Amino acid sequence: MATESGRALSGKHAVITGGGRGIGAAIAAALAGQGAKLTLMGRSLGQLEERAAALRAVGGESCEVQCEAVDVADEASVVAAFASAARRLGPVAVLVNNAGQAGSAPFLRTDRALWQQMLDVNLTGTYLATRAALPDMLAAGWGRIINVASTAGEKGYPYVSAYCAAKHGVIGMTRALALEVAHKHVTVNAVCPGYTDTDIVRDAIANIREKTGRSEAEALAELAKHNPQGRLVRPEEVANAVLWLCLPGSEAITGQAISVSGGEVM
């Protein structure tokens, strides 16, 4: 059911971690287009403010967007950021856990520091943000939590064992929490992009070039070959999946890991 303004998310406060660029920026644009009030969270306040200004330029005065600097792996930082966000834009109705990092190394060169960093940012960060937002949703009797995982949460890739472990954990947490809150009108889902045209993938391409001497086109082809469509996923395609999970008509979708990967995972 649409709201009076004709936009399904009007009046709802959505928090997007990692909202300053790439997939997070695309999700912010999609949710703003349906009238959501936005809090963009990330480590770089300047980058977030640039994204917020771009959203306001498109949406005009009706676009309510604020920014919060946060380290999702730090509990005190997360608690403070969510408290500040709620004071200014109201209780959180939609949470998109998009913040993440991807570090690569052969397994025997994956030291404890890299292992812990991948778990802290990708898994613990998702846990902390969810714990901060969920009480608002339970109190309201409505909420949407979407965890941007990865096909790395559904299958394995070589040289990213820590990242795969963290993203598998995100999907496990998604399924468990979905069952806990199913009767509370709160849905919890994971969206799992394949290799997507973002800074993380551009960094991976640069890494392949450095280590193998391949050209940029060859490095890109190495990643794109995982996708049966032979290309990188576009951030907007991931954002469309996230938006759908927030809109009326998706109420029965919960506990799912939805692959956005051109058929790489079925």
* Residues 186/143, Cβ–Cβ less than 8 Å: yes
CATH 1.10.10.60 given to domain 13-194+234-253: no
In what side-by-side order are the strands of the sheet with 92-97? Answer: 65-69, 37-42, 13-17, 92-97, 143-148, 186-193, 257-260
Report the alpha-carbon angle 235-240-243, nearest 5. 125
Q: Tell me the pLDDT tens digit for each residue of 204-228.
A: 788 778 878 888 888 888 889 999 9
Give residue 49's pLDDT. Answer: 96
**How many Cβ atoms sit within 10 Å of the Cβ of residue 239?**
25
For position 183, what pLDDT does the model report? 98
CB within 8 Å of 207: residues ≥ 6 apart: 104
The question of whether 195 is a catalytic residue gets the answer: no
**Catalytic pick among 127, 157, 159, 163:** 163
pLDDT of residue 1: 40
Please report the pLDDT score of residue 5 as a whole number. Answer: 53
pTM of the model: 0.93
* CA 130 – CA 205 distance, rounded (Å): 32
257: helix, strand or coil: strand
Which residue numbers in the chain have pLDDT < 50? 1-4
Q: Which pLDDT score is estimated for 2?
A: 43
The domain locations on the chain are 13-194+234-253, 195-232
